[in-house]
Structure formats: structure tokens, C-alpha cells
Amino acid sequence: MPSASPLYNFSGINNEIDCPYRIPSIEAQNDTRYSSNNYDSLQSLSAMADQSFNGIFSPNSPSYSSHIPVTSYSSSTQSITSSPSPYFTTSEYNCMYNTNLPNQRRSCEGSSNDSPFQTVLSKKGFHDSRDDVFNEQDQLLSWTRKHPENWSSEEVLDWLIYTGQEKGLNMSELRAEAFQNLCGIELCRLSIEEFINLEPKYGKSLYEMLKHLLTGLSFQKPVDITADYQELSPYNNGNNNPTPSPVRSHFGSPAYHTMTNRKQEHSNYNGYNNNTDVYWKTERQEPMPCDVIDIGPYDFDVNDHPAVPQPTVDPCSPEFDAFMSGYPNTAPVRTACCFPGSTYPQALPRRRPGRPRNKSLPGDEESRPHKDKKAKNQHLWEFIYDCLINPAYNPQFLRWENQREGVFRFVQSEAVAQLWGGFKNNENMTYEKLSRAMRHYYKRGLLERVEGRRLVYKFSRKALDRAREKRHITL
């Protein structure tokens, strides 16, 4: 089985499939200029890594620098090592920075070729592609945009490496591989003793840093979820912020409207407000005025959480068994965020299917994310069905109205659209578009109209039979 991350290769150690369906944020595009919530990024980041990035991470830095930790795994020592140059700029991305000396730039001529440590860039063969660089950055820093409980096993490692570097741990001694089979929720549930057991030398420090990180987080109030949800949410720390979800606040306007306006908004935006709370109360969605990879904000809300204990699928039911069958050796909580057969998208050059966006729209070329990853080959209606039988998404995002008859309802239509968009590597997906695709199924006899009911659809018998047969579900 391949390693969970192409960046970490622990030979001989089993990795498990991680959560493939994640709501991508608007800033999960090729850069992370789209800051996105009320989480005080700089404060929490400093809690995790008290080294200052000084000018390098200054949001208003005119250098337009982007930074990315660079790590590699040594097959000979079975340990992860960090490049002495864990950062590079995208404007000069053949130049390297020293994490321990954040302001000290190394020679631009000094590539990693002289180093036993492999860099991201060297892994990519020094593609002269800014897009690839951004994608890689986004991949390595994706953990910064989620609650730790939402981290995939890759992101656990990303956090581990990043934190180890920033805390100045001896990375050659850090047993990162011991954590590689843990997803975020499992990591968060580890006791200090278990941390130490996994990593005798640094386990205590890592545990404390994780707890520090967790206690520094603030969470957003769900938009469509009931008060019960609030109470159930493990993130409800009594400090719910009424700030609308950045993800959902983005949903309100059609994509073309966003595209149309973004460039203008961008051009009008005169500075990044470090007070992310204020930033999000203004519901700004435009990019920050520089290409800084902002490792601070967590791009998630409580709705993007796999452990919400509201399953409607009876754990004893055949559906649940079918759902779980793809993960024979994993715990329910973990498998609840996974889908059988799903893997992380491969970074293959490819155009996104469908009609190209109107190039005449202002700002299109700049705001349009680069979708170069291969989308999974699954049909939308099957995706919807899978979500419906997944307690991680039902009833949080969509739910059965009549499971036997195949009638279901979108609870958070835009969130489902974002899930679908994430699945297809298309961050521009909206419910508008998803619903259009759904309506095509009427003609094909896979969906039947449910008159007079908004957000309610019905699988045809044909679709139900096909889906249930494929998943060995009997009702």
C-alpha cells in the first residue's frame, strides 16, 4: 500500500486511506491568500511554534514570499529529516531559507542537490511551474486550515514535522513514523502517556504543543445546524462566534459573481487585517494582497468535522456494515470520514471537464484556481448516495427523507457542493452547478422530481437498485 503522503515514505509501514471528502476552502486554491475565519492565526501559530517568522511571514511583506517546510524521510535511518532549508519563496523558489534562522537567506545557488535531504522542489524535478509550487505548499500546509481533529494522517505528519522543526527538535531522532497511521481525531485523543509511548523523547513536548494548539482555537457557530448540534459539538468551548462560516459566506453569491468582483475587490483592498475576527465579520473573500502562505487561519468550521455524533445509519444496519466493510481494521470514528475506494487525487496535468469558464469575465484568469489534479471517476449521484449512507455527512450535510423510497434532502446544499467540488478538485463548484447536474439525471431516469419541495430529490428505483447492488445493501 502506498504511503499516505507522497512526501513521507515509510517503507514497510501500513498506511490507511484517509478522508477523501473534505470541504475545500476558497483559499485551498493554489495560494492561500483567501484568509477564512475568526481564528487568530498569528496567535495560535505562535503558541505552536514560538519562533517568529519576522519579516518572512509578514502579511504585508512586499516580498510576496511564500514559505513551505521541506522534509524528507531517510530510508536508511527510518526517520524523517528536515531540510536545513525548509522554506523557499515562490518569487525566488530556487532560493532557500533556514528555519532556524528565519531571516537568513541562503545562497540562491545552493540547491538541495548537495544535501542528503530531499526538498519538495527536488522531488518535483524543479518544475518551473509556480502552480505546482503552490499546490505543494497547499498540500503541506493544509493542516493549518483545519481543526486538528480533522487532520488526515498526512496532515498529522505535516504538523509533526513542522512543529518539530519550529521547536528545534532533532528531527533525526523524531519518530515521526510512529504517528503516520494516526488521523487527526486519533491524535487528539492520545493521552500524554500514549504520546510518550509513541515518541519517548519528544512525546511530552508534542503532546503539550498539540494541547496548546487545541486550547488556542476558537470556533464558529454553525449556520444551519440546530442548537443540539452546538451542544454536541466537541468544539463548543462556550465561545461561539456568530461570525458566519467563511465557507458558507462564500456560497451566497454565484461563482461568476465572485469571479467578476474578486479582481476589483482585490485591487481595492489596501491591506490585510491581522485581526482575523474583524476580517471575517466583514465577510471579505478576496485574496490578501500578497502571495504569503498564511499558515495561521484554520479553514474549517464545526460543520467540517467527521466526529459529529449524529449518525442516522444504524450501526447494526446493513448499510452501515456495507459502509464499514472497506475498513475492516479501523475504528468507527475514523472510518466515518472515509469512503471505500477513495484515494487522494493524483497530481496529473488535466483540464477540468465541462465548459470552460467565460474568459471575458473580469478577473477570471487571476482568480481561477488551477485544477490540474485528476478528478476521481465517480458519478455525482453515486457520490450523493455515498454521502447519504455515511454518518459523517448524514444528517449533517444531507439526509434521507425516506430512505426506502430514496427521497433525500440537502441540509447544507452548498456544503455538499463543496464536498463534491473537493472530490472533483473543483473549488468553484456551487450548489447551482451541482443541482444542474442533478437535473440531468431526471432525463436519464436516475432521479425523479419531487414537486414543490426545495432541496429534495428522489433516487429512481433504477438508481437505488444500482447503488444498493454495488454496495451490497439490502433494505
Partner DNA sequence: TAAGACTTTCCTGGTT
Partner DNA sequence: TAACCAGGAAAGTCTT
Q: Given candidates 78, 274, 435, 460, which one binds DNA under the rule CB under 7 A? A: 435
d(CA 248, CA 303): 10
Going residue by residue from 287 to 326, which x/- string records binding to DNA, judged by CB under 7 A? ----------------------------------------
Question: Nearer Cβ to DNA, position 379 or 399?
Answer: 379
Pairing between β-strand 87-88 and β-strand 96-98 as defined by DSSP bridges? antiparallel
To the nearest whole angstrom, how small is the minimum distance from the Cβ of residue 452 to DNA?
A: 6
Shortest gap between Cβ of 29 and DNA (angstroms)? 12
CA distance linking residue 7 with residue 152, whole number of Å: 14
Chosen residue from 170, 264, 346, 358 binding DNA by CB under 7 A: 358
Nearest to 447 by CA among 462, 428, 436: 462
**Smallest distance, DNA to C-beta of residue 142, A:** 21
Q: Is 433 in the site for DNA (CB under 7 A)?
A: yes
> Between 281 and 350, whose beta carbon lies closer to DNA?
350
Least spacing, CB of residue 263 vs DNA, in Å:
14
437 binds DNA (CB under 7 A): yes
> What is the smallest separation between the CB atom of 322 and DNA, expressed in angstroms?
21
Contact positions with DNA (CB under 7 A) in 198-257: 252-253, 255-256
**Which stretch, 78-86, 180-188, 270-278, 430-438, contacts DNA (CB under 7 A)?**
430-438
CB of 257 to DNA, least distance (A): 9
Amino acid at the residue 249: S
The only residue of 277, 332, 432, 460 in contact with DNA, by rule CB under 7 A: 432
SS (H, E, C) 371-388: CCCCCCCCCHHHHHHHHH
SS3 289: coil
Residues 460, 448 contacting (CB under 8 angstroms): yes
Minimum CB separation from DNA for residue 38, in Å? 19
178 touches DNA (CB under 7 A) = no
Asked if 440 is part of the footprint of DNA (rule: CB under 7 A), the reply reads yes
Binding segment for DNA (CB under 7 A), chosen from 75-83, 95-103, 137-145, 353-361, is 353-361
Q: Which residue has the cell 475576527?
A: 277
> Which x/- pattern over 135-164 shows residues binding DNA (rule: CB under 7 A)?
------------------------------
Identity of the residue, 227 or 348, whose beta carbon is nearer to DNA in the bound complex = 348
Do 393 and 21 touch, CB atoms closer than 8 A?
yes
Query: Measured from the CB of residue 360, what is the shortest distance to DNA in angstroms?
Result: 8
Does 106 participate in binding DNA (rule CB under 7 A)? no
Q: Is 291 exposed, middle or buried (0-12, 13-18, 19+ CB in 10 A)?
A: buried
- Binding track, positions 401-420, relative to DNA; x by CB under 7 A: ------------xx-----x
> Segment near DNA (CB under 7 A), from 70-78, 131-139, 322-330, 434-442?
434-442
For residue 259 the three cell numbers come to 469571479
Q: How far apart are CA 44 and CA 53, in angstroms?
A: 14
Q: Measure the CA–CA gap between 143 and 160, rounded to whole angstroms.
A: 10
Q: Name which of 177, 194, 185, 210 is nearest 4 in CA terms.
A: 177
For 309, the grid coordinates are 455524533
With CB under 7 A as the contact rule, the residue among 7, 259, 302, 338 that binds DNA is 259
Nearer to DNA, 147 or 424 (CB): 424
Tell me whether residue 333 or residue 455 sits nearer to DNA (CB atom): 455
Amino acid at 384: I
Site size toward DNA (CB under 7 A) is 49
Distances (CA, A) of 331 to 192, 319, 334, 338: 21, 16, 5, 11
Helices (H), 94-224: 120-123, 130-140, 153-166, 184-189, 192-198, 203-215
What is the C-alpha separation between 434 and 414, in angstroms, rounded?
9
Q: Residue 64 or residue 442: which is nearer to DNA going by CB?
A: 442
Cell of 249: 459566506
455 touches DNA (CB under 7 A): yes
Contact (Cβ atoms closer than 8 angstroms) between residue 253 and residue 332? no
- Non-local (6+) Cβ contacts of 435 within 8 A are 413
- Binding to DNA by residue 130, rule CB under 7 A? no
183 in Cβ contact with 152 (< 8 Å): yes
Least CB distance to DNA at residue 109 (A): 38
Q: Whose CA is closest to 17, among 327, 432, 363?
A: 327
Among 51, 330, 456, 466, which residue interacts with DNA (rule: CB under 7 A)?
A: 456
Which alpha helices (H) appear in 396-460, and where do they start and end? 413-423, 431-444
Among 111, 380, 401, 466, binds DNA (CB under 7 A): 380
Residues that bind DNA (CB under 7 A): 252-253, 255-256, 259, 350-358, 361, 364, 374-375, 377, 379-381, 413-414, 420-421, 424, 426, 428-429, 431-437, 439-442, 444, 449, 451-456
